[in-house]
Amino acid sequence: MPEVIRANTVLPSLRTDFRVKTADGHLLIGEIARPLGEYTGAILCLHPLPTAGGMMDSHIYKKAANRLPELAGIAVVRFNTRGTSSDAGTSEGEFDNGISERHDVEAMLAYCFDELHLTNLWVVGWSFGTDMALQHAKDPRHKGLILLSPPLRTTTPQQLAYWNTDHRPVVALIPELDEYLNPVQAIERFAPLHSIEFIPVLEAKHLWVGEPSVSRVLNEIVARVAPMRVPLATTYLAEAHS
């Protein structure tokens, strides 16, 4: 009998904890959830603002790790930036408002390619993580940026304009009811980046609370990484996963 996929559904994957050292000497903690079957690609998750509770277990990313390896063949890499804690532990260092976090993003991208040997890797940033992606995720080996609820809190017009010279896709999901940057405001603030793809999401909020919002985000991610696997299934066979 098919079971509906719910907020707490955990589908099969191969989960491995890891530690990565940054160029300035801090150990970051993280986890990769790999598919047990066919591999289609991967995402590196840059989490929301740690001083507001953001971490590798922020709900969109935890649900991505619980679902996407099985439903879409996508490996999900999550980690805590410096000074950030989750159930898995605390990464070394101190929060630096996205400045020293450059070392975190660069170390994680290098780890994804040089140690995990991931292919078709996309960088997904959420809130604070979108500023980190836009400012620091310049490793030429990833496929592009997917931005969830970008507030443009610290990213400058000059840093946006960099991506006009890069030519990799930048996709932004903008919640209609986002209190930090709504779709109308986003068009104006992102003006220096000419090639960005905007996806306004009706009735969604900054934190993407609720299964309709989660489903929309995960489907939009999969549409870029593994388009042959959308739409994502909304049910699963419990006996097949027992």
Instruction: Give, for all 242 residues of the chain, the pLDDT tens digit.
Output: 899 999 999 999 999 999 999 999 999 999 999 999 999 999 999 999 999 999 999 999 999 999 999 999 999 999 999 999 999 999 999 999 999 999 999 999 999 999 999 999 999 999 999 999 999 999 999 999 999 999 999 999 999 999 999 999 999 999 999 999 999 999 999 999 999 999 999 999 999 999 999 999 999 999 999 999 999 999 998 866 55
Domains of the chain: 2-241 (3.40.50.1820)
Q: What distance in Å separates the CA atoms of residue 128 and residue 149, rounded to the nearest whole number? A: 9
Structure tokens at 227: 């388009």
* Beta pairing, strands 170-175 & 145-148: parallel
Q: Which is nearest to 105 in space by CA: 26, 167, 221?
A: 26
* Beta pairing, strands 170-175 & 197-201: parallel
pTM comes to 0.97
Q: What distance in Å separates the CA atoms of residue 105 and residue 159, rounded to the nearest whole number? A: 16
